[in-house]
Structure 1
Amino acid sequence: MTSVAAQVLRRLWERDETLAVAESLTGGLVAAELTGVPGASRSFRGSVTAYATALKREVLGVDAALLAERGAVDPDVAVAMAAGVRRALGADWGISTTGVAGPEPQDGKPVGTVFVAVSGPGGVQKVVELRLNGGRADIRRESVRSLLELFSGELAENARAQDTEQNGGN
């Protein structure tokens, strides 16, 4: 996974952009993966591990009504977490994880239900639902990998869109 983290950070360095992470079920594993790359501090601003639902609201600004209605394991919550950490830590990009690693279901969602999200410049917002198998450690590890892959793809797509704009749409 470190290679994906390194690739993401390299793209951010080239663009002079920053990243912040909001994590729930991954409990800091995304931040650990990123900070495992030498020089990460050039682009990585920091992270918020909002494991408790109240912190999603209080620290990340996730709407209380949304949390009350749907619970913390929800695609809109994942997007709000990514946007909230981006805002809270003053980053160009925010990424997030929320889900159920087990051993018990949560908010009516089965173990292995995970949402990963990206929030970025120009209104970029993307969320992906994952249905993961395995034990708690497997689900958490795959959530990290999936989030970094999603973000890597979003950075590449965003770069192509900027290129097209700068070159007059050709």
Structure 2
Amino acid sequence: MATTKLKKWAVRRLRFYKDKYIFKLKRYTIAVLTSDKSDVSIALSYAFGTLIALLPTPGFSTAIGIGFMTIFKQLNKMAVLLSMMVWNAITIIPVYWLSYKLGSSISNSLPDVEVQNETMRQILLFFKQFALGNLALTIPISIGSYFLAILLLQLARRMRLRKVEKRENKIIA
């Protein structure tokens, strides 16, 4: 009986957080699409947010992004926050795994760091592999997100323009 109630409670909580996440994602997307800033500015902001979100700073990426938004006023805040919503803890796990795998294949050609302590040597080796792989993945993903954002923004603006034209044609007719 208690486990059934616990399961129902857990399902309700998960549904609540899923709905809350989807609501925020929609709100940020609408704010980006209705922004009066240029497509290039929005796409650069989205790519910058992607770069920050993919760097290995779990838990601090949002704070780092907000810090950069306060320094660089020309960044579109909603685009940066949208990219951080897209690159959340669930979507970042495969990227981190690929970072380590790619970094381990890249770092085989680099010399090892000479350290007396074996544990410290293993930690440095892991960090080197992960950091190299993360940089090798983060930069192309950020560049690709710029072009994807430009494409999606242009498509959304064309669709909105068509919708406005249809409304005007209905009013005239």
Which bin holds the TM-score, normalised by the shorter protein? 0.3 to 0.5
Structure with more strand by fraction: 1
Q: Which protein shows a greater Rg? A: 2
Structure with more helix by fraction: 2
Relative contact order: is structure 1 or structure 2 higher (C-alpha 8 Å, sep ≥ 6)?
2
